[in-house]
Structure 1
Amino acid sequence: MDTGTHIVMGLALGGLATLDPVVAGSTATASSVLAATIIGSQIPDIDTVLKLRNNAVYIRNHRGITHSIPAVLLWPVLITGVIYPFNPEADLLHLWLWTFLAVFLHVFVDIFNSYGTQALRPFTCKWVALGVINTFDPFIFAIHVAGLFLWVFGSHPGYTFLAVYALIIIYYLHRFYYKGKLTKIVKEMIPDATDIIIAPTMKNHEWRIAVMTEKQFFVGRAHRVHVRILDQYSRVPVPDTPVLKAAKKDSNLSAFLSFSPVYRWEMDEFDDHYEVRFIDLRYRSNGHYPFVAVVKLDLDLNILSSYTGWIYSEEKLRKKLEFIPG
């Protein structure tokens, strides 16, 4: 989920903790738990700082080791160890328990996004992504904010957020139901589909669709249960040519390929250089595919520059390739 949602979830967990008699009976424990749930709901995303290095490092590592099983066990210990000395009257066990819940819930809800996490690491580095909730979901964020307002105006925080999370569970079940229904419809439309990716958007009833068959890619959009195929491409295997082999050595393209399960590729030859472009088909927006990896090579196949990330205009891409070294 996005940072804002994780913050309100941390506050909500602090409110929910008041149902715990140990927390409710101790001001010291309650204040420490609230601080811990806010921090615990944020700490797995500390790897966001990797974006300061470059997009390739960020794409390869975001929601990786910081969301792994060892990290989920370690973060609560570290957070509790930092908070407890400032408030030694707090109940240590319950402080740790609620911190652990905050960290676990952060990683757990991220699994439901299209991006996913490496939550099962170190047993497997496979990305777990169920793709039913958008990274920012207006309903989930709004219902948390509504609960916080009720708390401010005197509502019991524990029972308020118990109701909030009951509604969210129903909402998740509703999302799974619709995704399953759309998957069935797409299979009926494209019976030879080998892979179907149905991804949520910020709009509750809007979904992105990318389908692979042995020979084609289909890109579409769904509104409720009405599916439209918007683009169709031939599925051309990436050839083992010297230009493509050289381009794949680039860190930006390598990161893109480690992240994207469905893409098409293009190669252009100019008077003094080659340009290789890989295009993720999951994020079609207004007829444009903004998530790309581009590698620019000279005629001797040396990498001149490269870029991977979100680009919404060719002009900005040109600037990226001009100033960012490969």
Structure 2
Amino acid sequence: MDSLTQAVLGACVQGTLLGRWQGRKALLYGAALATLPDLDVILDYGDAVANMTQHRGFSHALLVLSLVAVLLAWFIRRVRPHPGYSGTRLFLTLWLVLITHVLLDTFTSYGTQLFWPLQSQPVAWSTIFIIDPLYTLPLLLAAILGATFGLRGRLRHWPAMALALSTLYLGFTVAGKQMAESSVAAVLREEGIRPELVFSAPTPFNSLLWRVVIMDEGHYHEAVVGWLDREPPRLVSLPRGAELRPALAESAQHARLQWFSGGALRYDEMEDQLVVTDLRLGMTGFHPFRFPLAERAPDGRWELIDAPERLAANRGNSDRLWQLWARIWNQQPELPLEHWALVLEARH
């Protein structure tokens, strides 16, 4: 999730468990500690693919963060013990501030390596967009009120109530994912499509409208499904470029992207470069993670690029967001997914 959400989540966790004794400082301490896992973004792993796939790695591992919580609790108890709460309560608070950060990240589409150093596929439940105001707002309001008026009297319970509301909303996003995939599954059965992979995620900034990607051998299909839809979703077939994939058989970066994305990749030849797109993130045609992994040699062969860079992301515009907003409430007109996907065939 975005940094603001993670900060106010940590603030509310620590405010709930230690606010009685630490007061406003509990909010500050929790917000600061909750940002710790994301500091791995300052590390350079050598190329853009490595930087993407190593993010949310060791710094988001349950084992590592549990050890960090133990060491922090031990250090704080030695340096500045507090008679009001035990070392166990302190450890539990620190552990929950860190663990709720990475658990929330698993509900996004990116991929979180909870079980590092095991090389299991990153966890991505993809039920919430990376920025969702409805999740963040209760936490932010509780943090602001607590910082302004202190955690005394009834205000002491506001962080806990905010956590309850945000958690209920997170449950609603899980129900939304099930709704979207069930709707698409019925269409797949009717059309006799047996996909390699089905991936679903909410569209930007909301959980009412969902995007479902169905990976096939030569193509992939996309559908948009909303809670208020009355008709079955329409599948839009788009070129996957799978015929270009054999050129990357020896590419370590491509293997890493395959592992990280679960195979939700598209391949395009653009300006004599073979560009690979992670289709899970962003919106149709507007995906932030695109990498040229090979380029044409003078004799026509593909040569792998040793240290690929990420292409600049085209994040769309306000008109696209308004179209998404309108689609939440009305199934017609359908979104122009075919037109949006054409953006992937041009540099941006």
TM-score normalised over the length of structure 1: 0.78
- Tell me the distance in 1 between the aligned counterparts of 2:287 and 2:96: 38
Deviations 1:183-242 (A, max 9, x none): 11111122224222111231231222211235531123233353754741355544675x
- Tell me the distance in 1 between the aligned counterparts of 2:198 and 2:304: 37
Find out whether 1:9 has 2:9 as its counterpart: yes
**Preserved CA contact (<8 Å) 2:245 2:267:** no
- Determine helix, strand or coil for the equivalent of 1:99: helix
Unmatched runs of 5 consecutive residues or more in structure 1: 320-326
- Determine helix, strand or coil for the equivalent of 2:167: helix
**Preserved CA contact (<8 Å) 1:218 1:229:** no
- Tell me the distance in 1 between the aligned counterparts of 2:30 and 2:108: 21
- Determine helix, strand or coil for the equivalent of 2:17: helix
Deviations 1:1-40 (A, max 9, x none): 111111111221222014xxxx73x45xx67755553333
Higher relative contact order (CA 8 A, sep 6+): 2
- Inter-CA distance 82–299: structure 2 relative to 1 (3 Å threshold): farther
- Inter-CA distance 122–157: structure 2 relative to 1 (3 Å threshold): farther
- Inter-CA distance 51–206: structure 2 relative to 1 (3 Å threshold): farther
Query: What pairs with 1:304-323 in structure 2 (closer than 5 Å)?
Result: 306-308=308-310, 310-312=312-314
The equivalent residue for 2:329 is none
- Inter-CA distance 298–215: structure 2 relative to 1 (3 Å threshold): closer
Find out whether 1:299 has 2:301 as its counterpart: no
- Tell me the distance in 2 between the aligned counterparts of 1:130 and 1:46: 22
The equivalent residue for 2:337 is none
- Inter-CA distance 157–11: structure 2 relative to 1 (3 Å threshold): farther
How far is the alpha carbon of 1:283 from its aligned partner?
4.2
Task: Give the aligned residue type for 1:115.
Answer: Y
CA RMSD after TM alignment? 3.3
The equivalent residue for 1:76 is 69
Task: Give the aligned residue type for 2:198.
Answer: I
The equivalent residue for 2:92 is 97
How far is the alpha carbon of 1:95 from its aligned partner?
2.1
Query: What pairs with 1:153-192 in structure 2 (closer than 5 Å)?
Result: 153=149, 156-191=154-189, 192=193
Query: What pairs with 1:88-237 in structure 2 (closer than 5 Å)?
Result: 88-89=81-82, 91-151=86-146, 152-153=148-149, 156-191=154-189, 192-194=193-195, 195-200=197-202, 201-226=204-229, 229=234, 231-234=236-239, 237=242
Task: Give the aligned residue type for 2:201.
Answer: A
- Inter-CA distance 2–78: structure 2 relative to 1 (3 Å threshold): farther
- Tell me the distance in 2 between the aligned counterparts of 1:99 and 1:288: 38
- Tell me the distance in 2 between the aligned counterparts of 1:8 and 1:302: 43
Which structure shows the bigger proportion of residues in strand conformation? 1
- Tell me the distance in 2 between the aligned counterparts of 1:304 and 1:17: 49
Query: What pairs with 1:281-300 in structure 2 (closer than 5 Å)?
Result: 281-283=279-281, 285=283, 287-295=285-293, 296-299=295-298
How far is the alpha carbon of 1:57 from its aligned partner?
2.4
How far is the alpha carbon of 1:117 from its aligned partner?
0.9
Unmatched runs of 5 consecutive residues or more in structure 2: 316-342
Task: Give the aligned residue type for 2:140.
Answer: V
- Inter-CA distance 292–141: structure 2 relative to 1 (3 Å threshold): same
- Determine helix, strand or coil for the equivalent of 1:113: coil
**Preserved CA contact (<8 Å) 1:263 1:279:** yes
Find out whether 1:259 has 2:260 as its counterpart: yes
How far is the alpha carbon of 1:287 from its aligned partner?
4.4
Task: Give the aligned residue type for 1:117.
Answer: T
Task: Give the aligned residue type for 2:164.
Answer: A
The equivalent residue for 2:330 is none
Deviations 1:26-63 (A, max 9, x none): 45xx6775555333312221211126964222212111
Find out whether 1:42 has 2:35 as its counterpart: yes
- Inter-CA distance 156–225: structure 2 relative to 1 (3 Å threshold): same
How far is the alpha carbon of 1:294 from its aligned partner?
1.1
**Preserved CA contact (<8 Å) 2:200 2:213:** yes
- Inter-CA distance 217–115: structure 2 relative to 1 (3 Å threshold): same
Q: Give me the identity figure in percent.
A: 22
TM-score normalised over the length of structure 2: 0.73
- Determine helix, strand or coil for the equivalent of 2:43: helix
